[in-house]
Structure formats: C-alpha cells, structure tokens
Chains A and B, each alone.
Chain A
Amino acid sequence: MRAYSASSEEALRARDLLKDWVREGFLTEAQYQGVEPETVVDLRRTNIFLRLVLFLFTLIIVGAAVGLFFVVLSPSATQTTGILLLIFAAGSYAAAELAVSQARLYRYGIEEALAACAVGFLCAGMQAAFFSGQAYQPVYAPLAAMIFVLFLPDSWTSSHSVHHLIVAAFYAVGLFLVAALRSRHRFTYLNDRYSIAEALLWLGIYLVINLQVVINLQLLPVNLFGPVSRVATAEFSRPFYWTTWVLTWCLPPLIITRGLRQKDRFVIAVGAIVSILTLITNKPYLGWQRHTWDPMLLGALLIGVVLFLRRWLAAGPGEVRRGFTARRLSGKDHTWMSAAAVALVSPNIVKPIPQTSSPDVRFGGGKSGGGGATSDF
C-alpha cells in the first residue's frame, strides 16, 4: 500500500525530467508547453525553502504539543512515558496520513515533519520502529529500522565483537532484500527510494565494521552510536580487529563498483565517503603516527583522482566512456552546486561549464549544455 498512486509518482517524475530537459536545452519551450499538461497531478508541492521552513514549524508545533502534554500530566513511570510516546507516534503518523490523503501534500515539509516525528517517537518510546512500508517518506523507514537494529543485540550479548557482527548481519540482510527488490524497479520512480535505502545500508555496514570510526565517534558530544560505540580497541579480539581492518579496505571498492554498475548516485557518494574514511582511519587502525602532511597527501590523491577521471572520460568518443561523462547533463547538478555555493562549498555553481566542444557529440549545441532543441535535432 502506498500513500501516492504510481501514476501520480510517475507523472511527477516525468514533470521533473521535462523541466530539467527544457532547462538544459534538450527540449524547446514550445515542446515543453505541449506535453506539460499531461503531467499535471493533484498533489501539492512547494519549493525547497518553504518546504524547510514548513518542516521546522511543524516540528515546533509537534514538539510543543507533546511537551505540553507531558508538563501537564507529568507521568512518573517510564513505562507510561513509553506508551504515551507510542500514542504520539500513532497520532503523528495519522496526521501525516491525513496530510497526504486529504490535503494531497507531497514533499511539502509538513507531512515529512509529521512522519519524522512518528519515527522519532517510536524510537524513543520503545526503541523500535517497525514503521509500516508507507512510501511517502521512505528515508525515515530504513533509518528508523537501522537505529532500531543498533539496539537489538543489547539484550542478546555482552560481547562488543558479537554486537558489531549482529548489527552488520542485519544490515547485510536488509541490503540483500533491498537489492533484490529494486531490480524490479530499475527505471521507475521507485528506484530512487531503494537507492537511498541501499546507500544507507552500505554506510551502516561500513560504520559498524570500521572500529576506528566507532571509537572516534565516542569523542563527539552526542553519542551517535548508542551502546555500540562505548568501547575501546582493546575490547576487541585481535582476529576480529584485523578482519575489520581488511574489510574497511574491501568495502569501498565494492560499494563504488556497485554504485557505478547501477549508476546509482547515492551509492557512489557513499562509496566515495567510505573510501575517504578508510584513508583517514588507516593510520589509527595500524597504530601509526599521524603526520602534518597527511591531509596534503589525501588532498593530492583526491585531486589526482579527479583530474585523471576527468581526462579519461573526456578522451572518450563524445566525452563518454562506458556510459559515463564528466559533463553536466542535468539542471539538478546546477541546482545542487548553487545550494552548495551559498554554504561556501563549491565555486563552480554559478557559471555553466562549457558543455561540449566535440562536433560528434549527439547532445551538443543548445544554450547551456545541450541539445537538440535548436540545432542538432
């Protein structure tokens, strides 16, 4: 059962793609106007800034309502608090359902905040989150399930090594299931949802396996890993410790390969993140001394990899190699870079990179990187 019909989701996906293509010059404005009415849906959406603010104020309202309830009633027993939180979870979930079914909200901030609250209350109330498979906010479900799994082995074992193994095994099973399920939805709107779930599971497996990340996270003011992180290196057996070290080197290429084969942006990003984490945590793992020039070496490596990849991709026919290109093909990249620039993240945003210089590129021409709208077609 889904909160939104597949036809609505597909129409929205088509609508987003159309906007992207017309912005990139793959479609003319006239073509866009011709097909745009066919992608109209009755769902209400809003832009990212209003979505964020609506999310924030919904959180404030729910938080204040729940806080008020507890202040007025002041339940003393922990069990009563847990049950009340479960009731609030159900209430938030019902409100989210209502916002979706009645108000037809879609990525509007309000229903997302309500869903997040439902998951939060569930986790806090019973450290459990058997969040039903509703699809309107799929990010929260795998996240909640992953947080729940972190606490599961507490009552089963006192061994830290076994704890890590159980959590990793659960994540691996989840990963296997997600991978099996998503293969049926390769080119549908659902692919993105499974993509996020898979990326989170890969990241979870890596973070549970990399003991140095786990140990270093204890230094943070907030204990992100709950019971899993309250450990020191000496508490792990030597074979287990060194097996995890080997795995920290095996997982990144595996994840990147999987991401590249699936052409999955989230999984590729996780692959890049865990690769960098492996490089950063390798010395602590081996007990080697850190040097001041280590970041320089890491930086030089990253720059070298990017330059090599860019050159290698650009040297292919039409600047494409094995189905990959370094050129910008989507307006979404531009939007993301713009957002990053506001937070001083990337300089490239503002200017469109010249899209093509090769005459045999099929999607050459166009005004900002593409296409066919005006010339090649």
Chain B
Amino acid sequence: MTIFTRLAQWEERGILSPEQHTLLADLSRGEPFSLFFELNILLYLGILAFVAGLGWTVTTWSQQLGDVLVLAVLSTLLAACFWYCFSRAPAWSPAETASPSLVFDYVLYFASLTWVVELAYVETRLQILSGQWDLYLLTTAGLFFFLAYRFDNRLVLSLALSSLAGWFGLTISHWPSHQDEAYRYYAILYSLVVIGAGALLQHRGLKPHFFGTYLNIAANVLFWALLSGVFNHEGYLVWLLGLIAACGASLAWGLARRQFAFVAYAAVYGYIGISSILIRDMNSGTAILSYFLFTGVGMLIMLVQIARRFGREA
C-alpha cells in the first residue's frame, strides 16, 4: 500500500481533512521541493572558499598591497558584517531564537572567520603582542562566546570552544617540561570547565539548547585525554580507571537522556582503551585476532541488547 493510498484512506475515514490530504500528497510527490539543505551547504562552502582565498591572498600579497590597504579591507568587511548582524538581529532572549533569515547566520560566521584572518595578519605583520598568541586566542574565544550567545549561533559557539581549547594548549606549550602530562591534565581541566560552565548556563536558563554542544565537545576532549594516558606504558592504571568512570557516566547519560551519541562514545572509546592495555603484550597475531573476534562478539551482543531495550526506532 503506497503512501498515497494510505492518505486517501485516512481522508475517507475522517482522520485527515481534505486540505491536509492534498498538502501531504503534494509533499509526498515533492511538491514543492525544498532546496533548504542544498542552499545552506552551498552558502557554507562559498564562505569557506572565500575566506580561504582571502587568507591566502593576504598572506601572499601583503607586501605588495601594503598593511594599510589589507587592514582597511579586512576591517571594512568585518564592520559591514557586524553592522548587518546587529542591525538585523531580533531582540536578545535567553531562550532559543530563530534566525531572521537564511543568510544571517552565515554573515556572522563570515565575520568570525574574517576576525581570525585579521587578527593573524595583525600579529604576523605588526607583532603588537610580541607573539603572545594565547592572549589572542583568549580574546577571540571571549568575542566568539559573546557573538554565539548574542545571536544564538551554535557554530560560532563551537569556534569559541575551539579557541578556548587552543588557549589552554598554547598556554602550557610555554612550559619547559612534562608537556604530555601537562597537556593531559589541562585537557581534562578544560573538559570539566566546559561541562561545568555549560551545565551552569543551562541551569540559569541561558540558551539551554547550547548544552549539547558543550557536552559533545567536552566529552570528546576528555576521552582523548584519558585515552592518551591509557596508552602510556607506565602509570596507566589511574587513567584506565578514569576512562572506565567516564565511559560509565557517558553511557548512563546517553541512556537516561536518550542521546545515543554518548552511548557510542562510551562503547568506542572504552573498547579502544581497554583493548590497548589487553593486547599490548600480545605478540601472536592469532591471539590478537582471537581477542578482537571474541571481544567484538561480546560488544555486539551488549550493543544489540542496548539497541533493543533503549534505541529502538520503528
């Protein structure tokens, strides 16, 4: 029975109104056909290509063009974008706010990327802060957080979180020794700060829909940090315990909130971490392959049980 037959039957039985029947039958035929997704992707690619070309041109031709011209062009672009965003944006609200147009979010994204190009140019050519890139990253993160919350833009929020992560990384790169260990601790600290800040802002009702972005980014950074500790040949036990605890928390959160990305994180990161310890002393190919065969079957059974109990979609 095709969808058209079903729609006709539902209309006959009075479940659907004639108008609804016509509308839904038209939609099933692709009338009208929405190009929303395609236009968004093309716009995104266009902006990415434009900014890439802008950066390439500026770095290649800076001496011929002169700093004044380059900075004037970049500043004009930046000012125009910000003027557009601030003049067209709806009044700020702590709740989720609809974008005024399809183009709006991309203008803000373009402005954010242009800001990065301009800042990189200023420091490379003029060295105002004597190469202290961490300060630039912190400033950029602050600006992006402000823009993300002002204009309700989750991509700019992701840029802000990435800039903040870059600041954490660059800050400790100045330290003389034990960098791997320090990076790991700071990655964990970064994850906890991001999760904590996200939870606090959600609790306060400030753009609570952003919490998913905070959690996804923080979870991935946390898992990578813990995994890097597990891969150590010495003192890995504490990292393994941390990984197991993180996997347990991720699994519990994923199942409780039905956010199955976190179930996937727990399964994949946990499997990689535990496997790396169990097979690190195995020299026989047969033993390693047997390990993957049997543990793979075990994981599959466990995941099927989870899928049957929690993750059904039908």
Contacts and interface: CB of A to CB of B under 8 A. Distances in A.
Interface of A: 7, 10-15, 17, 21, 26-27, 31, 34-35, 38-41, 43-50, 52-54, 56-58, 60-61, 63-65, 67-68, 71-72, 106, 108, 110, 187-188, 263, 265, 268-269, 272, 276, 292-303, 305-307, 309-310, 313, 320, 323-330, 333, 336-337, 340-342, 344-354, 362-363, 371-372, 376-377
Contacts of A333: 34, 36-37
Contacts of A377: 17, 19-20, 23
Contact of B34 (A52, A187, A328, A342): A328
Contacts of B99: 348, 351, 353-354
Contacts of B153: 347, 350-351
B43 A306 contact: yes
B171 interface: no
Contacts of B30: 263, 323
A310 B32 contact: no
A272 B38 contact: yes
Interface of A is mostly: helix
Contacts of B34: 324-330, 333
Nearest to A40: B314
Given A303-B47, A326-B36, A34 B15 contact: yes
B273 to A, nearest CB: 15
Interface string B1-13: 1111010001000
Contacts of B101: 353
A46 B311 contact: yes
5 contacts: A57-B300, A58-B296, A292-B53, A310-B39, A310-B102
B48 A299 contact: yes
A45 B102 contact: no
B16 to A, nearest CB: 7
B40 A50 contact: no
Given A10-B3, A64-B292, A347 B46 contact: no
Interface string B49-61: 1111110110011
Interface in B97-146: 97-103, 105-106, 108-109
A370 B244 CA distance: 45
A276 B38 CA distance: 14
Contacts of B28: 17, 187
A50 B311 contact: yes
Rank and list the top 3 A-B pairs by shortest CB-CB distance, nearest first.
A299-B50, A302-B46, A295-B53
B250 to A, nearest CB: 12
B286 A31 contact: no
A260 to B, nearest CB: 8
A61 B312 contact: no
Given A325-B32, A362-B23, A56 B53 contact: no
B261 interface: yes
Contacts of B38: 265, 268-269, 272
B257 interface: no
A56 B19 CA distance: 45
A65 B293 contact: yes
Interface in B187-230: 209, 213, 216
Contacts of A268: 35, 38
Interface residues of B, number: 94
B260 to A, nearest CB: 4
A328 B263 contact: no
A323 B33 contact: yes
A315 B270 CA distance: 53
Given A45-B313, A65-B293, A350-B152, A301 B46 contact: yes
B32 A320 contact: yes
Nearest to B9: A38
Contacts of A348: 40, 99, 102, 105-106
A303 B314 contact: no
Given A292-B60, A296-B57, A325 B40 contact: no
Nearest to A30: B15
B285 interface: yes
A50 B258 CA distance: 11
B170 interface: no
B96 A350 contact: yes
Contacts of B42: 272, 302, 305-306
B259 to A, nearest CB: 8
Contacts of A340: 41
Nearest to A294: B53
B20 A295 contact: no
Given A54-B304, A346-B44, A350-B154, A326 B6 contact: no
A328 B267 contact: no
Contact of A347 (B36, B109, B162): B109
Nearest to A268: B38
Contacts of B49: 295-296, 298-299, 302
A302 B153 CA distance: 22
B61 A292 contact: yes
Nearest to A341: B154
Nearest to B210: A350
Contacts of B209: 350
A68 B290 contact: yes
With a 10 A CB-CB cut-off, give which of B97, B106, B152 has the most chain A CB atoms: B106
Given A292-B53, A310-B102, A47 B311 contact: yes
Contact of B158 (A65, A72, A341, A353): A341
Given A31-B15, A349-B154, A299 B23 contact: no
B264 interface: yes
Contacts of A58: 296, 300
Nearest to B39: A306
Given A346-B40, A347-B106, A298 B16 contact: no
A84 B105 CA distance: 54
B32 to A, nearest CB: 4
Contacts of A41: 314
